[in-house]
Structure 1
Amino acid sequence: MSTPPPSLPQAADVIALHDRLLATACWPAQVPAADGGDGSLWHWVQTNHCFNSRLWAEEDLARRTTVSAADIAANKRAIDGFNQARNDATERVDEILLTALGLVDAASARTDAPVSTVPAGARLNSETAGSIIDRMSIMALKVHAMRAQTERTDVDEAHREGSRVKLARLQQQRGDLGDCLDALIADAQAGRAYFKVYRQFKMYNDPRFNPELVKEAKAQA
């Protein structure tokens, strides 16, 4: 008997995971064990959320105005690393989903040139399922942070009320993203739509491609 494919994600489950992790006291400094084990779809959804959370915190630190330039430079380097890890996890989510949906040859899914197995007539969706999940992670962080603003005791009621209005809009926007994810997965299952793994190829993080890092390496040699 063949191994059944991984279950496809539903938006409600993604939202629940994001919110549950943000409510964990140690998150994201100490990452809880991944649902489904290392290498699963949910492991990579959680990994993406972890690095988005770290990126969020680092972006706040990078806006400080009373610390040294060296501190801000350290924040910037951390931001670059977290952003790269976030994108890598998004790509892994797409690879796993495309394989589960039968839209890519499994042996080529992780290469720079995946072999498509898309049915004839399917439309190409410009945004991938992984990128929608990534955006939902960021929306979860916005919802979490805005909810905290509604509970502050060191501001006036006008601030809290304005934050409640913004919170409602953020929750609506996250729901819209979730609807788009569910629709894309359903259309892909039915052969009506497909998406691709879009490699980011972030050249500024790669010493082989960043022209300034190439110059530095040559000078040091």
Structure 2
Amino acid sequence: MIAQHANKIFSQAIHDYHVLNNIDHPIKNPYEAHTLEHLLYLKCWIDTVQWHMEDEVRDPNIAPVEGLKWKRRIDQSNQDRTDTVEYIDSYYLNAFKDVKPLPDARINTESPAWAIDRLSILALKIYHMQIEAERRDATPEHRDQCGQKLRILLEQREDLSNSIDELLEDIKMGKKYMKVYKQMKMYNDPSLNPVLYTGEKK
């Protein structure tokens, strides 16, 4: 089951990051390049780093220049995240390239990789919600509320994991087929963002 395998890799990436808990610490991906495992680890590492960038930029006392610096780093991280998701979809497109869809095969609302993207984010939510549910310096009410949220997140991960496995099995059996659309983000592209290609300022 790919989802269970992915969840283990996500937990590993999150644990590895929090050994030093440093946004600028370089990734040491333990998996061989060009493998699915390498991409899954990279995907969750990017998400984990960005999670902490998002914490930093929400500091109410942050200086505007510092906030802009974080905003630009988050923009680049989002682009890296999108690129990695598309690499994962390319992996599956190649894996299923010889599958002939059945006449009544249907397309899914999202590709396998974008569902896996949500699974990676869920892993982070679970990790941090568990910390809050066990935080000794928090009130009992806070811990109880976070414990309830944690149980919902764990249920959500189980449901999403099952759905991902079912989707991949359906594609493998020809019951569903993949059709991937590139994100085509425009605001990072100097040829598509008017502020970048005309120098206009509002």
Give TM-score, length-normalised by structure 2: 0.91
SS, match of residue 203 in structure 1: coil
- Please, which runs of 5 or more residues in structure 1 have no aligned partner? 1-8, 105-116
Q: Distance in 1 between matches of 2:83 and 2:151?
A: 31
Task: Give the C-alpha shift of residue 168 in structure 1.
Answer: 0.5
**1:12 aligned residue:** 4
Partner amino acid, structure 1, of 2:185: K
CA-to-aligned-CA distance 1:75-108 (integer Å, 9 cap, x gap): 110110000100100000011111111269xxxx
Q: Which runs of structure 2 are paired with 1:21-36 in the superposition (5 Å)? A: 21-24=13-16, 25-26=19-20, 29-35=25-31
1:157 is aligned to 2:140: yes
Asked if the contact 1:125–1:194 (Cα under 8 Å) also holds between the matched residues in 2, the reply is: yes
1:181 is aligned to 2:164: yes
Q: Distance in 2 between matches of 1:34 and 1:127?
A: 29
Partner amino acid, structure 2, of 1:191: G
CA-to-aligned-CA distance 1:31-64 (integer Å, 9 cap, x gap): 23342x1121121112111111121111111111
**2:107 aligned residue:** 124
Superposition RMSD in Å: 1.9
Asked if the contact 2:9–2:37 (Cα under 8 Å) also holds between the matched residues in 1, the reply is: no
- Which of 60, 82, 87 lines up with 1:87 in the alignment? 82
Q: Distance in 2 between matches of 1:119 and 1:54?
A: 41
Task: Give the C-alpha shift of residue 26 in structure 1.
Answer: 4.1
Partner amino acid, structure 2, of 1:100: A
Partner amino acid, structure 1, of 2:197: V
Asked if the contact 1:103–1:118 (Cα under 8 Å) also holds between the matched residues in 2, the reply is: no
Task: Give the C-alpha shift of residue 197 in structure 1.
Answer: 2.1
**1:3 aligned residue:** none
Give TM-score, length-normalised by structure 1: 0.83
Partner amino acid, structure 1, of 2:152: R
Partner amino acid, structure 2, of 1:214: Y
**2:71 aligned residue:** 76
**1:110 aligned residue:** none
Task: Give the C-alpha shift of residue 119 in structure 1.
Answer: 4.8
Q: Give the percent of matched residue pairs that are identical in Structure 1 and Structure 2.
A: 32
Count of aligned pairs between the two proteins: 197
Partner amino acid, structure 1, of 2:36: L
* Alpha-carbon spacing, 1:103–1:148, altered in 2? closer, same or farther (3 Å): farther
* Alpha-carbon spacing, 1:196–1:103, altered in 2? closer, same or farther (3 Å): farther
Task: Give the C-alpha shift of residue 118 in structure 1.
Answer: 4.5
1:166 is aligned to 2:149: yes
1:47 is aligned to 2:42: yes
